[in-house]
Structure 1
Amino acid sequence: MEAPKTKFGVILFLFLFVVLYPNVFVLRTLADGVTPEEAKQLRDEVREMFYHAFDGYMENAFPLDELRPLSCGGEDTLGGYALTLIDSLDTLALLGDRDRFSTSVEWIGKNLRFDINKTVSVFETTIRVLGGLLSAHLIASDYATGMKIPTYDNQLLNLAEDLGRRLLPAFDTPTGIPFGSVNLLHGITSTAGGGTLTLEFGVLSRLTNDPIFEQATRNAVRGLWARRSKLNLVGAHINVFTGDWTQKDAGIGTSIDSFYEYLLKVNMDSAALVWPLFNSLQAFWPGLQVLAGDIGPAIRTHNAFFSVWKRYGFTPEGFNLATLSVQHGQKSYPLRPELIESTYWLYKATRDPRYLDAGRDMVASLQYSARCACGYCHISDVEFHKQEDHMESFFLAETIKYLWLLFDLAVGPDNLVENGPYKYVFSTEGHILPSTPQISLGICPGLTHGQKFGISYVMSADIQHTKPTNNRDREPTVSQSHSVNIPGENSNYLQSVNKQNHENVETLDEGGSSKNYSPEE
């Protein structure tokens, strides 16, 4: 069945998937609601789920990266540095497990090194490892968290800084958009890819007082934004050398209109419907809508996603809206957290008991179909609930974390996120980063003007430490002639993007001289 190309066809799909289809499967009666006592039991059950998987990893896979829960073995999947342990640190802290948190931090500080001849994913290493180290550092170093380790001496922050510097060569491109992977020992990069890494790198800059990390990721975001289409859309894949889009499908992301709220994909240049496909990663969107204050749309979008879960017991990687069936070749559920995350945020915003009902269904599915001898398994086929011998680290970092937070909130929260002295930001990997004055109001010193391949390589000794005179001075600055303007900070730029042809963006070639090219070439 072809994707609809007419306005009527699009409206019909929206009606079926967002209005009619969810209400066929989503149970919304309060008669089956979760009682306070049951919420407490579910919270305790989720805690037991965490330790079943965490202990399974520590006993059978550690210090390898991830657990093989069916065979009770382990495998190195990212870099060979105890990935699951690092990714689980702040979950241990949330659960109030002082002993295991302290022991884990101590082991990592003494044994972990990044001077290894491994080529790793820049995005995954940043969100899982760098984010995990920074979150655990901020917890272990602060009495206000209730989890401070008396003997802790910034070991995790030192590791995070070392890792951050080893990732920087990935940003050494003409566009400033990073390569997808980098060798941690030699700094060799390969496989073009881009991502928004500003949260983790920004926190690292604030904690180390070195702006280079934040500046590199800001330049990457600027490089992507400067190459958006006339419709203010960005595509899926880009050539980091030329700035050309190699895949122009635009999904949920920057400058979203109502189509993306209802899970349709379009061409970034023409806005033509490409394929009415639900992707499980998009299930984070209702949670983001909540954070933006769009509660009504978030409820409707969540209903649509959860209707798929109710039908299969899990969300498949792909669901075809045209046929209302699992997309061929995308039948798996790798224990993803996105829908659970959105369920937590909607309950936090509304206190509607239907989201506790949803959480209960999710726990039941995981316990009945994904649990195995040493942990929890990927589901290779959501229609037959066939298990696969793999458990990614994000199951403990996100999936279990959001489930536990959901039911803990219902009981009367007893965790540092809800009861602590700070407001917390959750990273894309679910790591909690406190909005302390040092981070939210911290000042990165200004950069010198040395520009190369879109990022500024400056040594700490060359940094100009200046006291800011206004809010704009709080951000790292680069030479005006070499920087890409940021939307919202330059009125001339805002005016120019509304023209048919964008203004050229200036970058540097390898020799250091400037060259101009069009973002839409």
Structure 2
Amino acid sequence: MVWSWRRGRPSARRLGVFLAVVFLILFLRYRLSLSESMYPPSGFDWSKQQLRYPINESDMSRPPQGPLQNLQRVQYRFQRAAFVPDARTKSRRDAVRDAFLRCWKSYTEHALPHDELMPVSLTGKDTFGGWAATMVDALDTLLIMDLKDEFRAMLPLVGALDWANTPLTSINVFETTIRYLGGMLSAYDLSGEPVILQKAIELGDLLYVAFDTPNHMPPFWFDFRDAKKGTQQAGTSDPSASPCSLSLEFTRLSQLTGDIRYFDAIERIKHFLERTQDTTQLPGLWPVFIDFAREDPTRSADFSLGAQADSLYEYLPKMSALLGGRDPAYEKMYRSAMAAAEKHILFRPMLPGGDDILFSGNARVRDKEAADGGVDTIPEGQHLGCFVGGMFGLGGKLFGIKSHVETAERLTRGCMWAYASFPTGIMPEVFGMLSCPSLDGCAWDEDRWDSEKKHPKGFKHVRDPRYILRPEAIESVFLLYRMTGKAEYQEAAWRMFTAIQDATATERANSAIMDVTVESSNATTKLDSMESFWMAETLKYFYLIFSPPDLVSLDEFVFNTEAHPFRRPDR
């Protein structure tokens, strides 16, 4: 406490603040203890697991404290009219909400407590431990869509979750963190329901044991038997995104509970990233696969912002936001990584109309000593890579990098253009393009395009023509709308939503489809799959882009990679 000695006692204002904080802590502890008495804990208490490689509390890193740093405003300063949607915008938002409710009803009737609904056969399946992944993943969507009755109906099921009750012998650390832990932390941030935090802490304690390895790097798969025996090892060729995309969730759990163990665990990964960023074969970027056991990122020559690496980069500006700008390491790593990405990963397609759009591709280091630099940019795009526009926009806004916001718009318009290029109005999972030698563009060369393959002009191949209800394109469209205020992004979102509905709707829900290149939406083949991110991410972003901009403001929240908003430090 800070004392005011002018009258020999604490200032009344500061004393009031102090007492209010003490009351709040005691109140939250009371509510949590009440929740624990109402809902039984999981069958195995991982917080009591004896660790093979324990860390003394005195050696642990704590979340940075002190004044918030000068992160800049993210959201556009909307006019007052935007906070009262017109009839057309409201009807579009209602259409998205209706689509969500249709899927939610089918899931709760035909699949719950399984992880996912099979939307054609109307049965349930378990893909992520059997802990009702879709329910947990969509809790915050229920709150955002003001479906309070549906949310309250799920609380007893959340309270009954038993992280020890699974037929699996191991779980995916990354997916469990972003879907389950992220989903519960966000739902708690939005609701304050103590049972949700109780279950998040239980799961956090389970996941924390994954860091009990000789170098405290978690494995890709958390094997329960190895963990209990103390024989876990970090992987020798794991996706770089897996251990390097746990930081938002573990940090938020530390912020909410005051338990520094979770933050300390991911802080060690941050130090690894800092230490190795300039040692890789493509300095500034980390390869898609890394030997985490030896902490050696130098052996792989393949780099990407897409699958297997994506959220490593996404979390750099997001961690800066969640920490209130107090740790400059994340901005420094972001700037260095994006400089390398602009040089070697981003590409501009060669198009007949010369559209000024960009995509995120891949890079392979061929020969570092070659006269041309020895790095090949591979112009292969992914639907998964469409998040990159939003990431550039967020970094550009937070750190005041105007050129990154411009790049973000070019990337986001690239994905909007790709959606519109196919007969179904949806872009495919993986595709190759004809590229220009630089981001400045080039003239169309008809001879380079193989018309025999019957792809839209500009495309070389469509290696994976599926659409699996992914959110990354609408994610960036939503974020760029909130950052720029441009109505064109709302219009693009509506076209995307109607195209997806036309092509993926089943009798009772929505399904992934086999091929977006078929001649019409009526000809799509349904794959009987509806991953939890459809209701956790895709429909949430569609709903938010047609909602008042103060609903989950980007200046108050930061989204994890599963679209779960975490509350940022109060300015």
TM-score (norm 1): 0.69
Q: Report what 1:434 is aligned to.
A: 567
Please give the root-mean-square deviation of Cα atoms over the aligned residues, in Å. Answer: 2.4
Distance apart, 1:89 and its partner CA = 0.4
Distance apart, 1:109 and its partner CA = 1.0
Supply the distance in 1 between the matched residues of 2:208 and 2:139 (Cα, whole angstroms). Answer: 24
| Structure 1 residues without counterparts, runs of 5 or longer | 1-34, 142-151, 441-521
* Partner-residue secondary structure (3-state), 1:372: coil
- 1:299 aligned to which of 395, 409, 413: 409
Supply the distance in 2 between the matched residues of 1:424 and 1:396 (Cα, whole angstroms). Answer: 19
Deviating more after overlay: 240-249 vs 214-223? 240-249
1:38 maps onto 2:88 in alignment: yes
Q: Report what 2:248 is aligned to.
A: 199
Supply the distance in 2 between the matched residues of 1:184 and 1:51 (Cα, whole angstroms). Answer: 36
For 1:465-504, list aligned pairs within 5 A. none
Supply the distance in 2 between the matched residues of 1:114 and 1:337 (Cα, whole angstroms). Answer: 31
For 1:106-505, list aligned pairs within 5 A. 106-114=156-164, 116=166, 118=168, 119-141=170-192, 152=193, 154-184=194-224, 187=227, 192-193=238-239, 194-230=243-279, 231-245=283-297, 247-252=300-305, 253=313, 254=334, 255-257=337-339, 258-259=342-343, 260-262=345-347, 263-267=360-364, 270=368, 272-291=375-394, 292-293=396-397, 294-312=404-422, 313-322=425-434, 324-325=458-459, 327=461, 329-384=463-518, 385-409=524-548, 413=549, 415=551, 417-418=552-553, 423-436=556-569
Supply the distance in 1 between the matched residues of 2:166 and 2:120 (Cα, whole angstroms). Answer: 29
Deviations 1:50-89 (A, max 9, x none): 0111111111110000010011111000100000000000
Contact residue 364 and residue 378 of structure 2 kept, 8 A: no
Supply the distance in 2 between the matched residues of 1:75 and 1:397 (Cα, whole angstroms). Answer: 17
Supply the distance in 1 between the matched residues of 2:137 and 2:259 (Cα, whole angstroms). Answer: 24
Supply the distance in 2 between the matched residues of 1:349 and 1:238 (Cα, whole angstroms). Answer: 34
Contact residue 428 and residue 462 of structure 2 kept, 8 A: no
* Partner-residue secondary structure (3-state), 1:169: helix
1:105 maps onto 2:238 in alignment: no
Supply the distance in 1 between the matched residues of 2:376 and 2:408 (Cα, whole angstroms). Answer: 22
Closer/same/farther in 2, CA of residues 170 and 112 from structure 1, 3 Å limit: closer
* Partner-residue secondary structure (3-state), 1:79: coil
Supply the distance in 1 between the matched residues of 2:91 and 2:225 (Cα, whole angstroms). Answer: 47
Contact residue 249 and residue 274 of structure 1 kept, 8 A: no
* Partner-residue secondary structure (3-state), 2:381: strand
Distance apart, 1:130 and its partner CA = 0.2
Contact residue 67 and residue 391 of structure 1 kept, 8 A: yes
Distance apart, 1:274 and its partner CA = 4.5
Supply the distance in 2 between the matched residues of 1:391 and 1:352 (Cα, whole angstroms). Answer: 31
Distance apart, 1:333 and its partner CA = 1.3
Distance apart, 1:380 and its partner CA = 1.8
Supply the distance in 2 between the matched residues of 1:427 and 1:287 (Cα, whole angstroms). Answer: 12
Q: Report what 2:42 is aligned to.
A: none
Supply the distance in 2 between the matched residues of 1:329 and 1:267 (Cα, whole angstroms). Answer: 19
* Partner-residue secondary structure (3-state), 1:363: helix
Distance apart, 1:436 and its partner CA = 4.6
Distance apart, 1:325 and its partner CA = 2.9
Deviating more after overlay: 340-349 vs 224-233? 224-233
1:68 maps onto 2:118 in alignment: yes
For 1:17-96, list aligned pairs within 5 A. 36-96=86-146
Deviations 1:452-476 (A, max 9, x none): xxxxxxxxxxxxxxxxxxxxxxxxx
Distance apart, 1:418 and its partner CA = 4.3
TM-score (norm 2): 0.64
* Partner-residue secondary structure (3-state), 1:388: coil
* Partner-residue secondary structure (3-state), 1:389: coil
Contact residue 113 and residue 132 of structure 2 kept, 8 A: yes
Closer/same/farther in 2, CA of residues 173 and 223 from structure 1, 3 Å limit: farther
Supply the distance in 1 between the matched residues of 2:252 and 2:221 (Cα, whole angstroms). Answer: 21
Q: Report what 1:3 is aligned to.
A: none
Supply the distance in 1 between the matched residues of 2:191 and 2:155 (Cα, whole angstroms). Answer: 8
Contact residue 386 and residue 473 of structure 2 kept, 8 A: yes
Supply the distance in 2 between the matched residues of 1:326 and 1:121 (Cα, whole angstroms). Answer: 34
* Partner-residue secondary structure (3-state), 1:179: coil
Whichever residue aligns with residue 249 of structure 1, its letter is D
Closer/same/farther in 2, CA of residues 277 and 363 from structure 1, 3 Å limit: same
* Partner-residue secondary structure (3-state), 1:364: helix
Deviating more after overlay: 168-177 vs 313-322? 168-177
Closer/same/farther in 2, CA of residues 240 and 295 from structure 1, 3 Å limit: closer
Closer/same/farther in 2, CA of residues 102 and 83 from structure 1, 3 Å limit: same
Closer/same/farther in 2, CA of residues 427 and 395 from structure 1, 3 Å limit: same
Contact residue 161 and residue 199 of structure 2 kept, 8 A: no
Contact residue 114 and residue 162 of structure 1 kept, 8 A: no
Closer/same/farther in 2, CA of residues 340 and 172 from structure 1, 3 Å limit: same
Deviations 1:240-260 (A, max 9, x none): 212334533222335122234
* Paired residue total: 387
Deviations 1:297-347 (A, max 9, x none): 222111212111111222212120236437454221111111101111111
Contact residue 129 and residue 167 of structure 2 kept, 8 A: no
Q: Report what 2:454 is aligned to.
A: none
Supply the distance in 2 between the matched residues of 1:184 and 1:327 (Cα, whole angstroms). Answer: 42
Closer/same/farther in 2, CA of residues 274 and 352 from structure 1, 3 Å limit: closer
Supply the distance in 1 between the matched residues of 2:386 and 2:95 (Cα, whole angstroms). Answer: 24
Contact residue 117 and residue 183 of structure 1 kept, 8 A: no
| Structure 2 residues without counterparts, runs of 5 or longer | 1-84, 306-312, 314-333, 348-359, 369-373, 398-403, 435-448, 450-457, 519-523
Contact residue 178 and residue 220 of structure 1 kept, 8 A: no
Distance apart, 1:234 and its partner CA = 0.8
* Partner-residue secondary structure (3-state), 1:267: strand
Percent of matched pairs sharing the same residue: 31
Supply the distance in 2 between the matched residues of 1:125 and 1:327 (Cα, whole angstroms). Answer: 34
Distance apart, 1:39 and its partner CA = 1.8
* Partner-residue secondary structure (3-state), 2:177: helix
Supply the distance in 1 between the matched residues of 2:118 and 2:430 (Cα, whole angstroms). Answer: 24
Distance apart, 1:280 and its partner CA = 1.4
Deviating more after overlay: 220-229 vs 200-209? 220-229
* Partner-residue secondary structure (3-state), 1:285: helix
Deviations 1:151-183 (A, max 9, x none): x4x222121112112112322344443211113
Q: Report what 2:13 is aligned to.
A: none
Closer/same/farther in 2, CA of residues 414 and 57 from structure 1, 3 Å limit: farther
Supply the distance in 2 between the matched residues of 1:418 and 1:272 (Cα, whole angstroms). Answer: 40
